[in-house]
Structure 1
Amino acid sequence: MTYTVNCSILLTELPLLERPAAAKAAGFDAVEFWWPFGTSVPTDAEVSRFENAIADAGVQLTGLNFNAGDMPGGDRGLLSWPARSTEFQDNIDVVAGIGERLGCKAFNALYGNRIDGASAQRQDAIGAENLATAAAGVAGIGGTVLLEPVSGAPRYPLLKAQDALDVIARVKRESGAENIKLLADFYHLAVNGDDVAAVIEKHASGFGHIQIADNPGRGAPGTGQLPLGEWVARSRALGYQGYIGLEYKEPAETAFSWALRA
């Protein structure tokens, strides 16, 4: 099984730039990150420190989020946020540059919460335009933009797989973009009441990425009740060939002391 450690939610006892080496020491060869900077356009020195931390650890960066705003403060993306649309667009070249230098080809664009003072129709139009721009921005390095349903964010409009797939279909229809895919986070889908098994049966071969955590609690596999091993195995059987993102909450000392068979 090819796992990739999300170093933005795991190993958080360590400074951010020490986490890739810790993931390597734990036996993993791949990592992924949410946007690791405070702004859409960090300094060259900040970017170099981040890239060097990954290269020096000897791990592959397999996924990177676009800037999603203040995540601890409740933001869930800039993609459809009218007042911050330019910030998102400015972020695209930075993300693509990191991807090109580190060989990363998967980039998660969180859709964004509904915003007071902006109609859903306007936000969705802006979101579709920005998704198309992002897809074009990473196409040159063979990149894929990922779109995911999210739980625990009351104003986030993409709750089930079909919500994200409908947006992807709209962007493809309006712009012709082919490199936007569903990020199937089994935890978020399950918490939001989606039929995860049915989503897998219908769409697994086209998943852009899979992430896992158990429920309740968003803990490590085996701490809850989700059949994660079965879901991963079925996704593989139906053609999914990518990494499995470990995006759960667990103290560093016990973060990987589970035995998921898939």
Structure 2
Amino acid sequence: MLPLPCVAQKPVEVWSYHTSPPFALPDAPGVSDAFVDLLNRHATNAGRFLFKLVQLPRKRLDMRLIENQPGVLLWGTPEFLSEAQSAHATWSRPLLHDQQDFISLATTAYDYQGTESLYGLTLGGVLGHRYTSLDSAIERGLIRREDVHSDLQNLQKLRAGRIDTALLPRSTLLYYRKTDPQRDLYISARPLYQFERRLMLTASLDDAVKSYLREITEALSDNPRWHRLLDRYGLQPIAADKQHR
């Protein structure tokens, strides 16, 4: 990669609370790093803005949003934020169409057929993630939910026979399939829910930055760097420009 030009640039924070692959990787740049690099190196940036990825725990991110600090939320979903967190913010077009899949072992395949189909099962979840439609049954003890810190830990518990099924984002599954077909896993045809990943631009963000980001995201389908990024992380099947919903 060529070095960025050494000129005065306006710093812009890009926030992400996603710590699992493909968004963050332990020993290589994740897709969040790659997308921020795309923003910095796009020809129309011309050295005006220096975007910097900032990984935040969800609680710290929520506070920044409520305080309307200037920044960009990466891979955000409108339905996952409160009115106070997204007040007066603007959203980009969808970048990815994702979903929460139920995964199980192929030898004990589980098909999700609604909340009651989980009664009596142990469900692997991720700390801090809300699965609203299941909360009541979990609180009543009809579904046993066991949380871990990462999707990879849930995969390990599933393969060890310690949980019956786990929730895994399709984006994460596609990334893992880049190097391993995951033939021992079964994916329920019906997901828990589908959702879109977008950029959220806080109301206090500089107007010139907002204009630049709108321009970039509207033209992503024609951006070769974006498609190379999708290929690298296995995400082409859920690219928004490939979906018609």
Q: Which has the bigger relative contact order, CA under 8 A and spacing at least 6?
A: 2
TM-score by length of 1: 0.28
Point out the structure with max Rg over C-alpha: 2
Q: Which one has a larger percent strand, Structure 1 or Structure 2?
A: 2
TM-score by length of 2: 0.29
